[in-house]
Amino acid sequence: MTENKRFPELRRKLTPGWWTSNGHYTQYMIREWTSLFVAVFSLVYIYGLSLWVTGSRSAFLDLLKNPGMIAFSFVALIFTLYHATTWFYLLGQVVPVKIGKTTSKPWQALVVNVVLLLVISYLAIWLLVLR
């Protein structure tokens, strides 16, 4: 084994811009980066809820009315939707459901999950707000 290593082998490293070399890599990186917005939004929201339960409801509402917060929420919504739909699609790829002889396609998992998301969200809004 050492015999054939008389000459140095060429070692190559991934460059920091590796994810721009292929559309799939770029999509993957966007999916990973959007999770940051999901996390930041969740943290802000938990902070807001803590204001709500400790009685400073107006402080929570002021926070929500802040133009910066509105802009951030809008961006976070778009990124969260991208993150959610790509994960729903992946879910269909990695956990295909077999019914009889047919196996589910990833887009079917996407549709089912989006429908479930809408139904559950509506139920939660109905229970907490509309009822």
Partner 1 sequence: MDTATIRVTRYRPEKDSKPYFQDYKVPYRKDMVVLDALNYIKANIDGSLTYRWSCRMGVCGSCGANVDGTPKLTCASFLHEFKGRTITVEPLPNFPVVKDLVVNMEDFMEKLVKIKPWIIREKETPLEQGEYKQSPEELERYQQFSSCINCMLCYSACPIYGLNEKFLGPAAIALAYRYIEDSRDQGKSLRFPIVHEMEGVWECTLVGECSVVCPKGVDPMLAIQKTKILGATNALRSILMPRGGR
Q: Which 3 state secondary structure label does DSSP give 14?
A: coil
84 binds partner 1 (CB under 8 A): no
**Helix, coil or strand: residue 42:** helix
Query: Contact with partner 1 (CB under 8 A): which of 12, 65, 99, 127?
Result: 12
Residues 33-52 that bind partner 1 (CB under 8 A): none
Q: Rounded to an integer, what distance in angstroms lies between the CA atom of residue 131 and that of residue 123?
A: 10
Q: Which is nearer to partner 1, 13 or 131 (CB)?
A: 13
Q: Does 53 bind partner 1 (CB under 8 A)?
A: no
When binding is defined by CB under 8 A, the residue of 33, 50, 68, 95 that contacts partner 1 is 95
User: Who contacts 103 (Cβ-Cβ below 8 Å, separation ≥6)?
Assistant: 96, 97
Distance from C-alpha of 56 to C-alpha of 13, rounded to nearest angstrom = 53
Size of the site for partner 1 (CB under 8 A): 21
Q: Is 108 in the site for partner 1 (CB under 8 A)?
A: no
Among 22, 50, 54, 66, binds partner 1 (CB under 8 A): 22
| 28 belongs to the binding site for partner 1 (CB under 8 A) | yes
Report which of 40, 64, 12, 105 is spatially closest to residue 56, judged by C-alpha positions. Answer: 64
* Residue 111 Cβ vs partner 1, minimum distance, rounded to whole Å: 20
Contact (CB, 8 A) for 96 and 104: yes
User: What residues have CB less than 8 Å from 107, skipping those under 6 apart?
Assistant: 89, 92
Q: Which residues bind partner 1 (CB under 8 A)?
A: 4, 7-14, 18-19, 21-22, 24-25, 28, 32, 90, 93-95
